[in-house]
Structure 1
Amino acid sequence: MGTIWPDELPTDLSGQSGPKYQRVADTIRNAVEDGTLCIGTKLPPVRELAYQLKITPGTVARAYTLLTDDGLLQAEVGRGTFVAERQTKVPDDVWSRQLHLQEAKDPDHVSLFSPRLVDVGQVAAIREALIKVSQSDALQFLNYPTRDAYRPLREAVVNWLSQDPLGPLDERDVVLTHGGQNGILTVMQAILKGPQPTVLVEDLSYAGFRRAAELVRAKVVGVAMDEHGILPASLELAIRKTGSTVLCTSPEVHNPTGLYTPLERRQQILEVLRRHDVQIIEDDCYRMGDARAPSYRALAPDLSWHVSSISKTLTPSLRVGFALAPKGRGPDLRRMAEYSYFGIAQPVAELTRLLLSDPRTRKLVADVRREMDNYIRIAVNTLGGFDLIWSESVPFLWLKLPSGWRAAAFTRAAEAQGVQIRSADEFALRDGRAPNAVRIAVNGHVSPKRFEEAMLRLRSLLDNPPEQISV
């Protein structure tokens, strides 16, 4: 093959949009895809192509580098740059993985406060995507973000969530937030009204609901629940007593117990909510596996606001969440986000778009889930003789303490043994009663061996309660 610019390809790229290096890259990419440039074709040297296109050598070099990083071109020292062979299968090691990032500085200390994900390659994936972001249009690093600028990411989110039972979803329904907690707060800001509105939550619930409500000066009232979630009769009574117009709930993975609300109970809850025109904020951030029932958004698209993120499936470091509005309410939610924080950082938006659009990312998420499930099995094998609530693909366990222990005393004793866990008190309302239980989160930053050692320390404490019950 020669090294001249093929006659079929343009030498004047001025009519194309975007940075010059991107125009060159797109022209080459299209030529490879339509067969104008075949596998093994040697491209012109940088300076020669720059002369033909009347642009700088640096611009051509940047286009070649971009395409080489994407695997479309292959550079060989002393020989030149060629169209690379297409890979029909992504190698298993295309993204390096480091399953357990590092052991803690204190080898006897393991934090099980909050879930920490195993690295199965997402660190390398983020680094790879960051390189691509750094080569983006310079205006992306200089301009304020706009609604149109976020559209590619919103479309990627719609595609990413397409496998979940959410009902019809359009990119105009999606608002990007700084993680799930910010998503809950943004929804509350958009829908709560009056001088002191009331938000209903499960008696035992994610503390983030309460904190978000406090920020918007709302009162929080608990609703009784059982092993299937909120009790419809208690919900009816709470609505009548408080006049609340919002319910916050996590039907797929209840935090902190890990319990699940089956479809029949969800439908009973919806009957109550519809009678009183109460809206739902559904927090779906802790679900790592497939949904077991249709979401409230699918069951009641006119009432449900859905919040999720990539924090428990891919990485919490980016602080990217998704708030989904009911049909027709997207502008209300978007307006509140723009008034509150204007939007997430545009480079972070582009980074997230690249990750969600990459077909390899779904395998990463599946690998994360599989590795986290292994930790759950270790915990169940060690503590299974006690009253333990757990599920696969839920990154924490709920342990009801045996006679002789109180939650506060047990958490202090565990910390003295180098294991940090959360007491049920942290999930109860201020005027509510907490059960005698603790939440144990999975820490994928330590090895399975270290994690098992932590579980054995907890089991030793459970087997040997103090002679006197302390509080």
Structure 2
Amino acid sequence: MNNDSSIAQIAAILREEAARLGPGSRLPSSREIMRRHNVSPVTVSRALGLLAAEGRVVTKPGAGSFVTQQQVTTGQDAADLSWQTVALGDRVVDDGPVASLLASIPEGVVPLTGGYLHPGLRPDKQLAAAAARAVRRPDAWDKPPLAGLLELRRWFAAQAGGDVTAADALIVSGGQAALTHAFRALAAPGTPVLVETPTYPGALAAAKAAGLRATAVPMDRDGVRPELLAEAFAVTGARVFFCQSTLHNPTGATLPVERREQVLQVARAAGAFVIEDDYARYLTEHAPPSLASMDQHGSVVHLGSLTKILSPSMRVAAVIARGPAAHRLRAGQLVESFFVARPLQETALEFVGSPAWRRHLTTVHAELRTRRDALAAALAARLPEAELHLLPIGGMHLWVRLPADVEENDLAEAARRNRVLVSPGRMYYPSEPPGPRIRVTHIAATHLAELQEGVRRLAQALAEAR
């Protein structure tokens, strides 16, 4: 008989044996099957592969093949996909923290969490008008330059400052994509990457997905501590440091200019890259010069984005880099996703080149100040035992230290029962946290009255959690 029929016959025999043995049982070894039926190792392997594809068995290297737990729905066997666990291996992409920050807010719940402007603050009409102008261009649906539209790259370069040019900029699909590209391009799987502690959960998730080991570097109210950064480089041998230099998420810290220079000196001495996530540059009127504008050695890979200041769906960002790192970043984007859709790039360029851009910045900056102050005052009045880390120069968040006897997850759950959402601090740490913290956000609420109501509910939740 031919090989295909041999495989089918052995598969039928093993199918019957699996049914007889029952879930969890171990099938005879491949060697035993070969001996019983006088077939080749390839035939046995392919027969077991058929059963695995049917969800009837799962093969564990070094242990053997085992009968799976069959599920029955509507009178038919449903596929058991547990075999995929073995095929996929041990690497896990943890989307939990990011998914929680992006989750939709139920009706009647006050959001003291989130990372985007409330819809009432977004320039939706102006963006729609910019999009209408953009798509009327004759080449709007043509393939863009692979690195991005020249004028858009020139605009991002000017925002970064210093002697950055359009040739240094690469347009990518939002800040998270920029971060993922940077981690993959700059660090090999299995190597360490230094991060501020606490830090943005999306950075921790992206680093883990890239196979990197996040190592914490402590901060104070002025941001990362340069002397401890130097020590971390020396101890770990890391060649990448992830840094949010302005309005750090979650603490709100902004590196002073002097400390920015120290960070660059430390990175230069270590022969390392600094990934500067400048996500919040447009969320304050007082942003210091970017690290990229101060960099003379190609140490900084700068990430700038329009998403936070405009809309969650304005997935347009720039990665700014020089030298071989820039080439690797461009190559990575090309093989992974080609380019960012031209109509979206054209829309972004239309908007930032219009008077609506400056008017929007003025409106948002005023609203951010008002909401920040209102939230800080409400916390001081209703949760006096909680300590504000600092009053940031802008941004969307406040970082709050809770009394030592409060379990932050219990507080978050009590808050949820009281129909208010906050972000537990644990997700922001790459290692053990120093104590209970929460991040509270003022920008997602509809108005100041809802913000006040959210803090009232949070105070009630704190009383229940103690």
1:70-101 deviations in Å (ceiling 9; x for gaps): xxxxxxxxxxxxxxxxxxxxxxxxxxxxxxxx
> Deviation per CA, 1:99-146, whole angstroms, max 9, x where unpaired?
xxxx97623x11222133143461110111222233222x532x4333
Q: Does the 8 Å CA contact 2:292/2:301 hold for their aligned counterparts?
A: yes
1:263 aligns to 2:262 (yes or no): no
Partner SS state of residue 433, structure 2: coil
**Partner deviation per Cα, 1:298-346 (whole Å, 9 max, x = no partner):** 2224211111211222222211111111367543322222122111111
For 2:130 and 2:234, locate their aligned partners in 1 and report how far apart those are by CA, in whole Å: 51
Q: What pairs with 1:317-328 in structure 2 (closer than 5 Å)?
A: 317-326=313-322
Aligned to 1:395: 396
The runs of at least 4 consecutive aligned structure 1 residues that moved more than 6 Å come to: none
Q: Which residue of 2 aligns with 1:147?
A: 146
Q: Is the 8 A contact 2:412 2:424 kept in 1?
A: yes
Q: Aligned-pair distance for 1:285?
A: 0.5
Q: Go from structure 1 to structure 2 and tell me whether the alpha carbon gap of 1:465 and 1:259 turns closer, same or farther (over 3 Å shift).
A: farther
Check conservation: 1:199, 1:218, Cα contact below 8 A. Answer: yes
* 1:454-469 paired onto structure 2 within 5 Å: 454-462=454-462, 464=463, 466=465, 469=466
| Preserved contact between residue 140 and residue 346 of structure 2 (Cα < 8 Å) | no
Give the letter for the 2:418 counterpart: Q
1:170 and 2:171 aligned: no
Identity of aligned residues (%): 24
Q: What's the secondary structure of 2:215's corresponding residue?
A: strand
Q: Does 1:203 align with 2:197?
A: yes
Pair 1:225 & 2:226 matched:
no
Distance 1:298 1:148, change over 3 A: closer
1:274 to 1:453, Cα distance in 2 relative to 1, 3 A: same
Partner of 1:243: 237
CA distance 1:411–1:236, shift in 2 (3 Å): same
- Map Cα deviations across residues 398-446 of structure 1 (whole Å, 9 max, x no partner): 11113542211111111111111101101011x4225311001123451
Partner of 2:81: none
Amino acid at match of 1:146: P
Partner of 1:274: 268
CA contact (8 A) 1:173 1:324 kept: yes
Determine if the alignment matches structure 1 residue 180 to structure 2 residue 175. yes
Instruction: Say whether the 8 Å CA contact 1:145–1:346 is kept in structure 2.
Output: yes
Alignment check: 8 A CA contact 1:400 1:436 kept: yes
Q: Is 1:299 aligned to residue 294 of structure 2?
A: yes
Q: 182-191 vs 275-284, which deviates more?
A: 182-191
For the 8 Å contact 1:224–1:231, the answer to whether it is kept is: yes
Give 1:292 shift. 4.3
The structure-2 alpha-carbon separation of the partners of 1:192 and 1:121, relative to structure 1 and needing over 3 Å to count, comes to closer
> Is the 2:110–2:454 contact (alpha carbons within 8 Å) kept by the matching residues of 1?
yes
Structure 1 unmatched ranges of 5 or more: 1-102
* Partner amino acid, structure 1, of 2:255: T
* Equivalent pair of 2:414/2:464 in contact (CA under 8 Å): no
Which residue identity does 1:326 align to in structure 2? R
Change (3 A) 1:268 1:104: closer
Task: Provide Cα deviations, 1:17-61, integer angstroms capped at 9, x if missing partner.
Answer: xxxxxxxxxxxxxxxxxxxxxxxxxxxxxxxxxxxxxxxxxxxxx
Is 1:362 matched up with 2:361? no
CA contact (8 A) 1:157 1:356 kept: no
- 1:213 is the counterpart of 2:207: yes
Tell me how many residue pairs correspond in the alignment.
355
Partners of 1:248 and 1:170 in 2: how far apart? 23
Secondary structure at the aligned position of 2:140 is classed as helix
Q: Is the 8 A contact 1:172 1:330 kept in 2?
A: no
RMSD after superposition: 2.4
Alignment of 1:8-407 (within 5 A): 106-107=107-108, 109-118=109-118, 119-120=120-121, 122-137=123-138, 139-141=139-141, 143-147=142-146, 150-159=149-158, 161=159, 166-193=161-188, 195-287=189-281, 288-301=283-296, 302-326=298-322, 329-384=325-380, 385=384, 386-388=386-388, 389-407=390-408
**Counterpart AA for 1:175:** L
Question: Do 2:371 and 2:448's aligned partners in 1 also have CA atoms closer than 8 Å?
Answer: yes
Is the partner of 1:397 in helix, strand or coil? strand
Q: CA deviation at 1:200?
A: 0.5
Q: What is the distance in 1 between the residues matched to 2:124 and 2:422?
A: 26
Deviation at 1:383, TM superposition (A): 0.8
Residue by residue over 1:134-178, the C-alpha shift from the partner in whole angstroms, topping out at 9 and shown as x without a partner, is: 3222x532x43333862132223335x1xx6x3112111111111
Distance 1:311 1:401, change over 3 A: same
Residue 65 of structure 1: aligned partner: none
- 1:210-267 Cα shifts (integer Å, max 9, x gaps): 2222222122111122222222332223222221100001121111111222233333
Counterpart of 1:33?
Answer: none
**Aligned pair in 2 of structure 1 residues 149, 310: CA closer, same or farther (>3 Å)?**
closer
Once residues 149 and 257 of structure 1 are traced to their aligned partners in structure 2, the CA distance between those partners, rounded to angstroms, is: 33
Which residue does 1:40 correspond to in 2?
A: none
Q: What amino acid does structure 2 have at the position aligned with 1:378?
A: A
Distance 1:244 1:366, change over 3 A: same
Give the structure 2 partner of residue 89 of structure 1.
none
| 1:432 partnered with 2:432 | yes
Specify the code of the residue in structure 2 equivalent to 1:156: W
Paired residue secondary structure (2:149): helix
Output the amino acid matched with 1:176. Answer: I
> Does 1:409 pair with 2:410?
yes
> Tell me, what secondary structure is at the counterpart of 1:222?
strand
Higher helix share: 2
Conserved? CA contact 2:199–2:249, under 8 Å: yes
CA contact (8 A) 2:404 2:436 kept: no
Kindly indicate whether the alpha-carbon contact (under 8 Å) linking 1:296 and 1:304 is maintained by their aligned counterparts in 2. Answer: yes
Q: Please give the secondary structure, in 2, of the residue aligned with 1:425.
A: helix
